Structure 1
Amino acid sequence: MFKNLARASHGLVALVAAATLSLAAQAQSPAVKPPLPVAFVYVSPVGEAGWTHQHELGRRAMEKALGGLVTTTAVESVPEGAESERVLRDLASQGHKLVFATSFGYLEPTLRVAADHPDVRFEHAGGYRTAPNVNTYNARYYEGRYLAGYLAGKMSKSGVAGYVAGFPVPEVIQGINAFTLGMRAARADAQVRVLWLQTWFDPPREREAALALVAQGADVLTNHSGSAAVAQTAQEKGVRMVGYQSDMRRFAPDAQLTAVTHQWGPYYTRVARAVLDGRWQPVPVWGGMKDGFVVLAPFHPDVPAPVAKAVRAREADIIAGRFHPFSGRLIDQSGRERQTGGTISDGALATMNWFVSGVVGTLPKP
């Protein structure tokens, strides 16, 4: 995964530029007679929470919204690499006309399979390259991460948060930095300690990392990984946590302050309708809180009303475009000034490979 980071960063600049293209300049796909066969490929088990679970909820919401206009297939626990290419190729050969590939490492296999099946539309989550029949989609998770960090800063007693992270790709780095900026906006001396997993889904390793962070003084935990292990560990150890991907209240009813949840149902429904109507186009999508892609779960009753009000006010500012988490002067963890003022560009976000001041941890070398 990480060995592809430099290439991904370069490609993400192109993705951001491509997103500005006029829809009229893109070739549309032919309409598809219903029912439209739609497939989803998942990197981990569906489970009861996490990255894959949220995509599965999106699939179910699409089915409910479109009824007999679609049929769906889901394949879970598909490793990135050769196995994902085999699965994608099988799904295309079986007659599926729309395929959602929902993990970062599926991009190259998706592009190869798409080249051999020009009549199939592919949607890849988090990718940085498109093709005539391949589109990419992602969410501005960093918006919710900033708010989560602000809440963590207000609620932490030690001023130390622990962050269990999967791979050091720009999306994950954005989240760590935004969380830290939010936490430091609430508490100037806050620290965010990061431990890398080098995997997206491994509950025992996620738990081990969470325990190590608690031992280092973290009294608030969060994660960018695929299971409920961090939430369960926070509940067990009596520390607070901010859920990610899913609302983790069922796993951490006493620990969870809120959760940064992913909501894919409306997007999947729109894409399927576009394919059915012949309006589908390979124009990258990077939606945020204003688009409903990222939603904060309800606050724990322990969160004081003034704190909740302050978080919601900043959330409203983000949705309205009055505030950006990466605005103003930005200093990295070495003390170097990365931005004197203004707002960071999408291109700079898409290639982010540095930590802001306040992060304790290093970026693994390729």
Structure 2
Amino acid sequence: MSLKRSLAFAAALTLPVPAMADDPMKVGFVYVGPIGDHGWSYQHDLGRLSVEEHFGDKVSTTYVENVNEGADAERTIRRLAQAGNDIIFTTSFGFMNPTERVAKEFPDKTFLHATGYKQADNLGTYLSVTYEGRYVTGVAAGLETKTNTLGYIASFPIPEVIRDINAVYLGAKSVNPDIDLRVVWVNTWFDPAREADAANTLMDQGVDVIVQHTDSPAPLIAAERRGNWGVGQASDMRDFGPKAHLLSVVNDWAPYYIDTIQQVMDGTWESQDYWGGLAEDVIQIVGVNESLSAENKAKIEAVTESIRSGEFHPFTGPLKNQAGELMVEDGVTMTRAELSGMNWYVEGMTANYPE
């Protein structure tokens, strides 16, 4: 190489290299239902869209919808990890074991599982404290029912659903001692036809307020057609039954998703069991029907604020089970661990506990 070329080559080595933009953090979401369910998965996807809006080109998100709980979930989660997603959110209770297995295979990835209880160094859990919204729902239903008979469309007999059924009953009982709460199990998160059938079955039994732990607006639509009350699940469902809509218990996941992703970006994230409720605005009571009396609206608002402020906890004793056995001492509030494993109905529930 000539001296001139050598000097030119050496000079080139010292020239500044244009900085490359950082690769975006890749974030994957796994949904149990369609994003158009207008309920649970819809709200999670609104949270994903908020992440994109907040972080801009710092993140790249993807999602997979309609994922069955079980083997399909494990394959989906693994594919997202193999595709280079840095964070993976799995958003249904039945995704717990698949998420745990895949997290062990990819210790350099961060996994977050909604509504479960298994954690690891790279696996955290998160939950919306729906029982707070359910208790408020029970108060509203207890105030507005004419038949004193409420109905609950239940998905699967897991602790989350059991404690929410109990919360509705306790809330209703606090304002109406004559309440009866009837339960129909549909064993699905999203099946509009089955949900509508369950709603009609309950209304045929004299139920005039329908509460649901399923994700489509079909029960509310059925209530509207028959002149009864219904309650929106996970999202604001008032447009599906304006006259029937008593209120909606909304999950707003955006604050949690944004904060968690920022922690991973900053290197400060640590595995935890996050519970977000009314105080964190993860749970919101929206769309209380304008036809309610001022007195009843005030009662609904008062109990909402007492829970939000921490003044009142729906699961503070004394609490007995259906057999009359004392489960929670007077003045004692159930711990997260106890609530996470709740497997009993409270005293006064006439429905058979699911086997």
TM-score (norm 2): 0.91
* 1:266 is the counterpart of 2:255: yes
Q: Does 1:91 align with 2:62?
A: no
Shift of residue 336, structure 1, vs aligned partner? 2.9
Task: Identify the match of residue 202 of structure 2 among 194, 205, 213.
Answer: 213
Aligned ranges 1:1-366 → 2 under 5 Å = 33-342=22-331, 343-365=333-355
CA distance in 2, matches of 1:314, 1:64: 34
**Is this contact kept in 2: 1:244–1:261, CA < 8 A?**
yes
When Rg is computed on C-alpha atoms for both structures, the one with the higher figure is: 2
Which whole-Å deviations, capped at 9, do the CAs of 1:294-348 have from their partners, x for residues lacking one?
1001211111111111111111111111101112322323333323411222222
Alpha-carbon distance in 2 for matches of 1:328, 1:283? 27
| Contact 2:37-2:215 at 8 Å conserved across structures | no
1:293, distance to aligned residue in structure 2 (A): 1.1
User: C-alpha displacement at 1:48, in angstroms?
Assistant: 4.7
Equivalent-residue separation in structure 1 for 2:322 and 2:200 (angstroms): 24
Number of residues of Structure 1 aligned to a counterpart in Structure 2: 334
Give 3-state SS (helix, strand or coil) of 1:250's partner: helix
1:63 and 1:71 in contact (8 A); partners too: yes
Paired with 1:67 and 1:305, the residues of 2 have a C-alpha distance of: 44
CA distance in 2, matches of 1:209, 1:360: 18
Q: Distance in 1 between matches of 2:336 and 2:106?
A: 32
SS at match of 2:248: strand
What is the DSSP-based 3-state SS (H/G/I as helix, E as strand, rest coil) of the residue aligned with 1:173? helix
SS in 1 for 2:60: strand
Contact 2:153–2:183, Cα closer than 8 Å, also in 1: yes
SS at match of 2:238: coil
Contact 1:194 1:359 in 2 (8 A): no
Contact map agreement 2:154 2:184 (CA 8 A) in 1? yes
Normalised to the residue count of structure 1, the TM-score between the two structures is 0.88
- CA deviation map 1:185-226 (0-9, x unaligned): 110010110111122222111111111100111000011012
- 1:299 aligned partner, one-letter code: V
One-letter amino acid of the structure 1 residue matched with residue 337 of structure 2: G
Cα distance between partner residues in 2 of 1:174 and 1:245: 16
Distance 2:268 2:326 in 1: 45
Deviation larger for 84-93 or 352-361 = 352-361
* Contact residue 150 and residue 182 of structure 1 kept, 8 A: yes
Alignment partners' CA distance in 2, 1:323 and 1:352: 19
Unaligned 5+ segments in structure 1 are: 1-32
**Could you tell me which amino acid in structure 2 is paired with residue 153 of structure 1?**
G
Does the 8 A contact of 2:150 with 2:209 survive in 1?
A: yes
Structure 1 CA distance for aligned equivalents of residues 217 and 35 of structure 2: 12
Structure 2 gap ranges (5+) = 1-21
Deviation at 1:280, TM superposition (A): 1.5
1:354 deviates by: 0.9
Identity %: 43
